[in-house]
Structure 1
Amino acid sequence: MTETAVYAAGGVVWRMVEDKLKILVIHRTAYVDVTLPKGKVDPGETLAETAAREILEETGIRVALGIPVGVSRYRMPKGREKIVHYWAAEATPDAIRQSQFVPNREIAAIEWLSPKKALKRLSYPVDVEILENFLRFVDDGVLSTFPVIVLRHGKATPRSGWTKPDASRPLTTRGVAQAHAAVGPLSAFGVQRIVTSDALRCVQTVRPLAKALRLPISRTTLISQDLWEAGRANPRLVIGKRVRARVPAVVCGHGPVLPDMLSELALATGTLHGSYLTSAAALPVAGFSVVHLSASNPGSGIVAIETHESRL
């Protein structure tokens, strides 16, 4: 991010009504316009957190982020550049029923429209462009997706000088802070399963997330660094299970094991290998890559990959 630009995030919120796709637009009170839900990043917040929060605040609908669908850039009245990141986001029937939206000083109304009507009603070309990007995915047969999130553990006590078993190395103070800071960004993607190497540093990394989401932690030696160094790791079993389950999941592992985990995701989904996998696996401590897969046909290939670094 640059210091001069204003950053924001939002989403293309969608639902199916009698097998027909509907897009959510908002009518803003002060501007008397029709836009996609979005808002500025709060201090200390990531773009993914902002998108989920702003959609909830403006529409009353709690969503899990899907695939990234574009970035809009434009000049504000005083000349500063505004950069807005967008994700697709399904509004589930339960989320819609639980919405408590009422017209307010900022949002006069929300409206569900067909894609064709939404394209005509949106007030700004940048919003139209984002919706068109989303509809290209729909035309390609990609609508409902789920993520497999590959997470590297937080900053751990150095290996040099550690006399106990390597798997017992704990997180440092910074690593603990990174684990807590990751809760918001990871939660934005609707995580429902948490799988981790059984090494303490990995378990400690996902523990705050598990507590926040009230989810159990599934521990495995199959993606541990100890087994990887011994040539006996088996990320294929771990990753294959996650792909078959079609449920949003976090898989926490170690730097040396991450390339194998990403490679197995490509193999499990029939995706060609490329430099993008190397980039997605080259994560700093507490960083994560979100691999988006088609919920209806995971074997059709990776739809999108996005990488996030810890802010600490």
Structure 2
Amino acid sequence: MSAAAPVLAAGALVWRRVDDEVLVLLVERTQHRDFSLPKGKLDPGETLPECAVREIEEETGLRIALGAPLPQSEYRLPDGRDKVVYYWQSKVDEAEAAVAASRFASNDEILALEWLPIAEAKQRCSYRHDVAVIERFEERLAAGHAETFPIIALRHAKATSPFDWEGTDASRALTTRGERQAKQAAPGIAAFAPARILTSDATRCLQTVEPLRRLTGIEPKARAEISQDAHELDHGSLRSAIERRVAKAVRKRRGTVLCSHAPVIPEIVTAVVHAADALESERTHRASMLHTAEFTVMHISAGETPALVGLETHAPREP
């Protein structure tokens, strides 16, 4: 017999500053009367980032944007199944915390919300795996990497085969599956609250970011220099153009989505690595080898010196 698939869940270490002190949010669960980081189980068709944002709002009333990923927790449930919980760090301001406090009311799942200093939060946690997540965040905080912004490389969704398309390659449209992939990926990308969407001017890329446009209200800007045609015509010029584009986004601390094609995605990832003064590695290489509608999120420190704080890849999930 094969082992049962693990139960997947997602949550966040939500934090804020009050009078120069960092406070971390814990929830007291109604039935268990324990204290933990807020989290919840993945719904069918959700990506993990989408789940984290939804669960935090449902449990606490807070509307968050995800920052860099934190260590995942793995443990055995009473029924013998394994559970894996994915976490991100997420800063909120005082205004959002106040609005969320007015929204929150004790319920069957969450009895109370507790904003605590880091040392007290670690003592209050009922589970060691939550303490480990807080300790990793504490290290980031000490290093000046508690606040980040995302550069997101997105490969276009499934397009019509070139052998079945009579027009130019750039005019190829998404298939029905591709349209579904684009719609499924959009909430996961939006969970990181990008400020800008740049896309190849190819039809399949423009169609891929359309659900993200509808969800975020951000108007995509088409750029021929990140298209597959540009890659094939003048690879050197494309690389230089991407490096300039990414360096500008990093310099301005601007969360940016770049939607492009399989041959171009590695150039985007490499440009981000270089702009963050990081080293290329097997991990960054794997993060650039995307299937259709997959996206890699590179989290750059918003501190004085850019640094690659985290890197993760996600795929749309069939319901």
TM-score normalized by the length of structure 2: 0.93
Q: CA deviation at 1:126?
A: 1.3
Match of 2:81 in 1: 80
Matches within 5 A, 1:180-191: 180-191=183-194
Matches within 5 A, 1:63-212: 63-99=64-100, 100-212=103-215
Partner amino acid, structure 2, of 1:18: D
Aligned length: 310
Which digits, 9 at most, give the CA deviation of each residue in 1:240-283, with x for residues without a partner?
Answer: 22212212221101100111111111111111122222111100
Q: CA deviation at 1:219?
A: 0.9
Match of 1:226 in 2: 229
Give distance in 1, aligned partners of 2:256 and 2:46.
Answer: 22
Give distance in 1, aligned partners of 2:225 and 2:4.
Answer: 43
Match of 1:279 in 2: 286
Give distance in 1, aligned partners of 2:224 and 2:172.
Answer: 15
Q: CA deviation at 1:161?
A: 4.8
Give distance in 2, aligned partners of 1:215 and 1:93.
Answer: 25
Residues 260 and 4 (structure 1 numbering): CA distance in 2 closer, same or farther, change over 3 Å?
closer
Partner amino acid, structure 2, of 1:216: E
Q: Structure with the greater relative contact order (CA < 8 A, sep ≥ 6): 1 or 2?
A: 2
Kept in 1, the 8 Å contact 2:150–2:299? The answer is yes
Which digits, 9 at most, give the CA deviation of each residue in 1:199-255, with x for residues without a partner?
Answer: 111010001110111111111111111111011422112212221221222110110
Partner amino acid, structure 1, of 2:316: S
Match of 1:22 in 2: 23
Q: CA deviation at 1:66?
A: 0.8
Root-mean-square deviation (CA), in Å?
1.4
Kept in 2, the 8 Å contact 1:9–1:51? The answer is yes
Give distance in 1, aligned partners of 2:252 and 2:127.
Answer: 39
Match of 2:44 in 1: 43
Give distance in 2, aligned partners of 1:76 and 1:285.
Answer: 34
Residues 250 and 94 (structure 1 numbering): CA distance in 2 closer, same or farther, change over 3 Å?
farther
List structure 1 segments (4+ residues) > 6 angstroms apart after TM superposition: none
Give distance in 2, aligned partners of 1:243 and 1:300.
Answer: 7
- Extract unaligned runs of 5+ from structure 2: none
- Extract unaligned runs of 5+ from structure 1: none
Q: CA deviation at 1:162?
A: 3.2
Partner amino acid, structure 1, of 2:191: A
- Percent pairwise identity: 43
Kept in 1, the 8 Å contact 2:158–2:175? The answer is yes
Kept in 1, the 8 Å contact 2:9–2:51? The answer is yes
Residues 27 and 216 (structure 1 numbering): CA distance in 2 closer, same or farther, change over 3 Å?
same
Q: CA deviation at 1:3?
A: 4.0
Partner amino acid, structure 2, of 1:311: R
Match of 2:254 in 1: 247
Q: CA deviation at 1:112?
A: 0.8
TM-score normalized by the length of structure 1: 0.95
Partner amino acid, structure 2, of 1:259: P
SS in 1 for 2:84: strand
Among 290, 301, 307, the alignment partner of 2:313 is 307
Which digits, 9 at most, give the CA deviation of each residue in 1:157-193, with x for residues without a partner?
Answer: 1123534222111111111111111111111111221
Partner amino acid, structure 1, of 2:34: D
Which digits, 9 at most, give the CA deviation of each residue in 1:34-73, with x for residues without a partner?
Answer: 1110111112222111111111111100101111111111
Partner amino acid, structure 2, of 1:269: A
Give distance in 1, aligned partners of 2:9 and 2:214.
Answer: 28
Kept in 2, the 8 Å contact 1:285–1:310? The answer is no
Partner amino acid, structure 1, of 2:310: A
